[in-house]
Amino acid sequence: MKTPADIITRLQLMSQDGTKSDRRLAGLVLSDLDFASKAAISEIAARVGVSEPTVTRFCRNLGCEGLRDFKFYLAQAIAIGGQYLSPEPLSRDAREQRIASAITEAAISAIQRASENLDMTTLVSVAARIATSGNVLCIGSGGISSMMATEMQNRLFRLGLPVLAQIDGQLQRMYAAVATPETTLVAFSVSGYARSVIEAVQVAQQYGATTVAITAPDSALAKAADTVIHLQSFEDGNIYKPTSSRYALLAIVDMIVTSVAETRGPKVLENLRRIKQSVNTLKVDDPRLPLGD
């Protein structure tokens, strides 16, 4: 029998489009996940007011072999995404708290944790390698890591470095395949298990490239790269708020780029001057504005 891909979605659809008994059973499960995951077939049938064979048919209509199979997939769904199914209601104080405070405090905390656990000797060494590279390839997959790969490109090009960001999985491998010993590949992954990123690192190593990973300690990517800058993601349990880990990752990017700029020294200034001149001439002539941002 076909394995249910997402038992919760199937239950939600069943509660709307199923037979009368199926709708009642789906409604019970969705309203009391804990009961449904533990109750005997007789208890479920009694609570809804249907027969035990009806419960079995309900499970089969969901794509399961029976109640036991259904409970397995339900338990799996609860373990993976349970916090999103039955979130604690927001208290009045939480609702009235300023969003700005919640976001800024979490961002500051994430940056502080990253800084405290950062090996600056390794970071400065990575920056020194980037500063003298023939070319730099920045790769990342997913919302945060792909954004950081692009941001690294945005910061390094203005320092006079030939740099490219690539967030497409297939192209990551292709660009890695034309790497040379003069290439430095910088790989981003918050989890450390983005397959295309790991494979691109392994491909680039075959051609002598230096590979750097900014990722979780002991992850698959950390084990694959030559050098690792550790980033341990900590979530604060607020499922309504975007993850604050990206602030920590951005801080690490800024530290690397600042160190690269200092390593390259005064020769980066002419590029920065040209960018400032170009942008301010075309836009607003205000020297206080950020450099091209």
The CA dihedral of 142, 148, 152, 154, to the nearest 10 degrees, is 90
Q: What is the pLDDT along the chain (293 residues), one digit of tens a residue?
A: 555 668 888 898 888 988 999 999 999 998 888 888 889 999 999 999 999 999 999 999 988 988 999 998 888 888 877 766 765 655 655 555 657 777 888 889 889 988 888 999 999 999 999 999 999 999 999 889 999 999 999 999 999 999 999 999 999 999 999 999 999 999 999 999 999 999 999 999 999 999 999 999 999 999 999 999 999 877 776 777 788 889 999 999 999 999 999 999 988 888 888 877 777 666 555 666 666 56
pLDDT of residue 183: 98
- The answer for residues whose C-beta is within 8 angstroms of residue 214's C-beta and 6 or more apart is 148, 186, 187, 188, 189, 228, 229, 231, 249, 252, 253
Q: Which of 147, 156, 135, 128 is closest to 190 using CA atoms? A: 147
The answer to whether the pTM exceeds 0.75 is: no
